């Protein structure tokens, strides 16, 4: 595993973004782990987060794109931080854009904030995590309604590596349904590999009991055909 992936896993732990316990996901699944990017709360944290996203994007897609789209609400700071990181570290100026939950009818009207979306734009969608692929269903129609755009792909911070609506993984379903590429900074398999029975700051974060709970979760919600 590349060093920056290990650093990102520890960064999530330090920020309280990666948590273990008993949670329920947006899709209604009871899960022993949860990723909440709402816990990135400082300027320095967002700066580092944008750098990790920028690296993942560059490795998967390169820099030949025009716009980062972050679905409201959590995608808004992600698109801002990552567009800044792409500019700073790769000397490439890309635009950012997000949607509003409610269409604004005065002043800066419309459903978008940030950059407008133009015909021919090559777009990368940036999200925190994808569990069952529910949010992408809302995002794609918004983008397609803005013009003749080319959605290159989706980048998330953590690939939860579980089924979407059917038997395949959520990211695989998204790739096949929308004909786009997907990538993640890290996968849950890499998280488990790095933290299982290995002390971090004098603490074992994933012990045998938690590992068993994670394994059971994947027995129930893992993709049936990897």
Catalytic residue from among 106, 179, 203, 224: 106
The whole-number pLDDT of residue 104 equals: 56
The whole-number pLDDT of residue 26 equals: 76
Q: What is the CATH number of the domain that holds 150?
A: 3.40.50.2020
The response to whether 135 counts as a known ligand-binding position is: yes
The whole-number pLDDT of residue 97 equals: 97
Give the separation between CA 36 and CA 218, rounded to whole angstroms.
20
109 is an active site residue: no
In a domain, 226, yes or no: no
Catalytic residue from among 30, 104, 198, 216: 104
The response to whether 207 counts as a known ligand-binding position is: no
CB atoms within 10 A of CB 137: 13
Q: Tens of pLDDT along 97-153? A: 999 876 656 545 578 889 999 999 999 999 998 766 667 888 999 999 998 999 999
Question: Which residues have C-beta within 8 Å of that of residue 145, sequence separation ≥ 6?
Answer: none
The response to whether 55 counts as a known ligand-binding position is: no
The whole-number pLDDT of residue 214 equals: 97
194 is an active site residue: no
Pairing, β 67-70 against β 110-114: unpaired
The response to whether 101 counts as a known ligand-binding position is: yes
The whole-number pLDDT of residue 28 equals: 85
Indicate the number of domains in the chain: 1
In a domain, 138, yes or no: yes
pLDDT under 70: residue ranges of the chain = 102-109, 131-134, 225-226
Reading the block at residue 167, the tokens are 């038997």
Do residues 144 and 46 lie in contact, with contact meaning Cβ atoms separated by under 8 Å?
no
**Domain hosting residue 49, numbered range:** 3-221
Q: Tens of pLDDT along 16-25? A: 999 999 999 8
């Amino acid at each position: 595993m590349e060093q920056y992936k290990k650093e990102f896993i520890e960064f999530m732990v330090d920020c309280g973004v990666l948590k273990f316990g008993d949670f329920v996901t947006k899709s209604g699944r009871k899960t022993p782990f949860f990723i909440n990017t709402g816990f990135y709360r400082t300027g320095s944290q967002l700066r580092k987060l944008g750098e990790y996203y920028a690296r993942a994007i560059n490795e998967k897609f390169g820099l030949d794109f025009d716009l980062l789209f972050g679905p409201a609400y959590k995608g808004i700071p992600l698109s801002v931080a990552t567009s800044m990181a792409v500019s700073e570290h790769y000397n490439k100026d890309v635009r950012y854009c997000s949607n509003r939950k409610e269409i604004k009818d005065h002043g800066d009207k419309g459903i978008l904030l940030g950059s407008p979306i133009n015909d021919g734009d090559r777009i990368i969608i940036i999200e925190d995590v994808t569990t069952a692929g529910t949010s992408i269903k809302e995002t794609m129609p918004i983008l397609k309604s803005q013009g003749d755009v080319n959605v290159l792909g989706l980048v998330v911070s953590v690939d939860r590596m579980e089924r979407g609506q059917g038997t395949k993984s959520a990211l695989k379903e998204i790739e096949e349904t929308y004909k786009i590429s997907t990538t993640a900074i890290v996968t849950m398999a890499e998280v488990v590999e790095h933290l299982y029975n290995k002390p971090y700051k004098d603490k074992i974060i994933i012990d045998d009991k938690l590992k068993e709970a994670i394994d059971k979760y994947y027995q129930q919600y893992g993709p049936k055909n990897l």
